[in-house]
Structure 1
Amino acid sequence: MRSSIIIFYFLITINTFSQEKELNSTRYSMISLIANPEKYDGKWVSTTGFLKYIEGEEIRLFLSKDDLYYNNMKNCFVLYLDKSKINEKNISYFNGHYVGLIGYFGNIKHYFYGGAIENISDIISIDDIKAEEKVIEIEQRGKSKD
């Protein structure tokens, strides 16, 4: 039940980043976007993955932690931020986190990447949501022992 509430909260949050994007974006798994990039080319999408940020390099979103660790470029998207809304220094907080984001999907025919997500104006750490859930769970266990 609690995980359903958290997922619902995430979906509501990710889809309310901006009114324009809310009306025009749909949630897709990275697997769908990687497998059929031409189907989503030029559409607003929301998706989740593991973010990799190293100062001076491209920002990437990976399908899994293993893909992030081994730098598997076929299972990642290069990310382009809307710099008027997201400061690149603030993005370092999300390095290694499981995140949700909304952006404009581009099916780039590039050797290294599965695609690109552009005009990203908001990112949310799903790890932070899970951490809040754990705190609530621990607090409730403590109350039930009393």
Structure 2
Amino acid sequence: MSARIGTIVMAVLLALYLVAVAQYAFLLLGSGDAIAVGIGAALIVLPVIGAWALLSEILFVARGNRLVARLGAEGGLPEDDLPRSPSGRIDRAAADLEFPTYQAAVEESPESWRDWLRLGLAYDASGDRRRARWATRQAIAFERRERRAEA
């Protein structure tokens, strides 16, 4: 829960920062000085990129959480029985040993969003955040296709 609160606080702070930069950019654009107008025009790009990045991350997290909740309701989440350190971190060596099971499941059914999501969770447990995000994005895409096909 504290991670969620921290994320919300950081997102709000980023949004406030983007608003402040946009306001400053518009002030520079209205100044009439050629250099200030050029800097103001360049500063417009930063809030646009920042807002896009913030929105895409929020949507990714919301979609990923929805899939995890759905898989959990179906009883399909992997058993969380990996050994942990005293601080609560998962033992990466133990997570790495279970990883081939989830990788084989994806290879067996490459269009199953459930298997892709489990693979993403395995990557996350192994500490490979980049691949965890990639596998979760695959799961989101396959689940979307499945929903569209059912509609």
Under a length normalisation based on structure 2, what TM-score does the superposition of the two structures give? Answer: 0.25
Q: Which has the larger radius of gyration?
A: 2
Instruction: Report the structure, 1 or 2, having the larger strand content.
Output: 1
